[in-house]
Amino acid sequence: MAVTTRTPGVTAGRLDRETLTSNFADLHGELSPHEAHVAADRCYFCHDAPCITACPTSIDIPLFIRQIATDTPKAAAKTIFDQNILGGMCARVCPTETLCEQACVREKSEGKPVEIGRLQRYATDVVMAEGTQPYQRAKPTGKKVAVVGAGPAGLSCAHRLAMYGHDVTVFDAKDKPGGLNEYGIAAYKSVDNFANKEVDWLLSIGGIELKQGQALGRDIALADLQNTNDAVFIGVGLDDTNKLSVPGAELSNVTDAVQFIANLRQSTDYTDIEVGRNVVVIGGGMTAIDAAVQAKLLGAENVTIAYRRGQEKMNASRWEQDLATAKGCTILPNLQPHSIAGNDTGRDTGNNAVSAIKFEYTTSTATGLQGTGETVSLAADQILMAVGQTLDGAQDGIAVKAGKIQVEGAGRTSVDGIWAGGDCASGGDDLTVTAVAQGRDAAEDIHAHLTSGD
């Protein structure tokens, strides 16, 4: 890694463009046809395949792998898309190491699972490269459904409803559709504008109108959607972020890791992305890992991930943790923020910028997590907060519990005619694949409701 500038503080252009291009190349890469056949031949095609149970969308994994092995990748893709219409993105971003591949019999017996994720990518890429849509829209039913949120849950729901012949309007607050897939995934996991291409492919089924820049509660009212549609699905994600409540949290360059990742994903020139020399990321989930790794790839000299509990409690998978350390990041468990120190060298504006962060060591007790009183300070010119996201308030009388929309069954909320799914709903777990499953299941329930009058 060639550092091109040792400028103190947060600055752009720490690495040259060529190095950045290499750093942010496709993390896994695609399989060639020969490699796909070799990988497929390792599958035992188990009758009671545990990998299917481990997949949140219940894809028939042995079937699609057998279809690849018999040189019918289009049929394999159809098997995948039947359960997961965003199977292309999930093949890239799913934590397969803790889902299907962890359950693989090869993993249990040999410690090396079948490469299910990469095989899924191989099959879905074949179909998407042709631009073909394997589904035809049914005869229009005359029913109208509003979908709020063009993330994985909303898109999955919209596609399934359109396939059944319902007219769907998708409203989204952002300038681009895709939600988490477009704005919240590490750039090296989704290259070549794949998220946007996948949305275009999904919408090609027809019957779906997309309206951007339309935020619920700001530009559109839930009551109006209820009055003009036969059903409403809410998949708005978690649009607010938790904040640090320690002295110094207001200092310059103490920023949101989610926004840091979004800026990267929307950038066309990584030399314009600012990063510090000493970066501290607070949190233990996938957002923390993605932010930390990308800070290192941008040229930060020291990147530390600080997590308040033991490392085994981190939400990020062990594979992702190992990726972070392999890229040069340091993980420090059992540390909770105590205070943030600043100086008066805030760049350009003269604002007080962060210079260091103090942590208190923690320990787990019978009554919960407690501080020990012992502290440690780390130099930091940039702090990225990845301490969770929340739903920005209740939605017009819909029951909310523990910061999420309360749902029952296939996404039914406390209000008749309104469904919800994805991260904003109870049961969501910040995974694209789970959101897709919830959107799909809600669409099935909405369709049953619209056609039966239930």
Contact 387, 242 (CB under 8 A): yes
Global confidence as pTM: 0.93
Q: What is the pLDDT of residue 165?
A: 98
CB-count burial class (<10 Å; 0-12, 13-18, 19+) for 386: buried
Contact 355, 338 (CB under 8 A): no
Question: Nearest 5°: phi and psi at 374?
Answer: -85, 140
Angular region, 178: left φ>0, alpha ψ -120 to 50, beta rest: left
Q: CB 365: neighbour CB atoms within 10 A?
A: 8
- Three-state secondary-structure class, residue 412: strand
Angle at 75 between CA 69 and CA 81, to 5 degrees: 120
Quote helix, strand, coil % in the chain, to nearest 5: 35, 20, 45
Q: What is the pLDDT of residue 347?
A: 47
**Identical topology for domains 33-130 and 144-239+391-452:** no
Mean pLDDT of all residues in 143-149: 97
Give me the CATH code for the 144-239+391-452 domain, please.
3.50.50.60
- Three-state secondary-structure class, residue 35: helix
User: What does the domain layout of the chain look like in residue ranges?
Assistant: 33-130, 144-239+391-452, 241-385
Contact 180, 287 (CB under 8 A): no
- Band (pLDDT 50/70/90 cuts) for residue 298 is very high
Q: What type of residue is 324?
A: A
Q: What is the CA radius of gyration of the chain?
A: 23
How many Å apart are CA 315 and CA 48, to the nearest integer?
29
Mean pLDDT of all residues in 414-438: 93
How many Å apart are CA 379 and CA 309, to the nearest integer?
21
pLDDT in tens, 3-61: 556 677 899 999 999 999 999 999 988 999 999 999 999 999 998 999 999 999 999 99
The end-to-end CA distance of the chain, in Å, is 61
How many Å apart are CA 73 and CA 58, to the nearest integer?
19
pLDDT value at 279 more than 60: yes
Q: Of 158-172, 234-248, 279-293, 346-360, give the lowest mean pLDDT range.
A: 346-360
pLDDT in tens, 246-265: 999 999 999 999 999 999 99
How many Å apart are CA 9 and CA 27, to the nearest integer?
28
Mean pLDDT of the chain, nearest integer:
93
User: Hunting for tokens 């995974």 — which residue is that?
Assistant: 431
Q: What is the pLDDT of residue 344?
A: 62
Concatenated DSSP letters of 306-334:
E-SS-GGG-SS-HHHHHHHHHTT-EEE-S
Q: What is the pLDDT of residue 191?
A: 94
388 vs 189: which has the higher pLDDT:
189
Q: Are strands 302-306 and 353-365 parallel, antiparallel or unpaired?
A: unpaired
Mean pLDDT of all residues in 275-296: 97
User: Hunting for tokens 């998978």 — which residue is that?
Assistant: 317
Contact 28, 60 (CB under 8 A): no
Q: Which of 232, 231, 254, 230 is nearest to 243 (CA)?
A: 254
Alpha-carbon dihedral sign for residues 98, 104, 108, 110: negative
Q: Which CATH class is domain 33-130?
A: mainly alpha
Topology of the domain comprising 241-385: FAD/NAD(P)-binding domain (3.50.50)
pLDDT in tens, 333-353: 999 999 999 986 544 444 688
E strand or H helix at 339, and its extent? strand 335-343
Q: Are strands 167-171 and 144-148 parallel, antiparallel or unpaired?
A: parallel
- Three-state secondary-structure class, residue 393: coil
How many Å apart are CA 97 and CA 117, to the nearest integer?
9
Query: What proportion of the chain, given as a percentage, has pLDDT over 90?
Result: 87
93 vs 430: which has the higher pLDDT:
93
Q: CB 343: neighbour CB atoms within 10 A?
A: 14
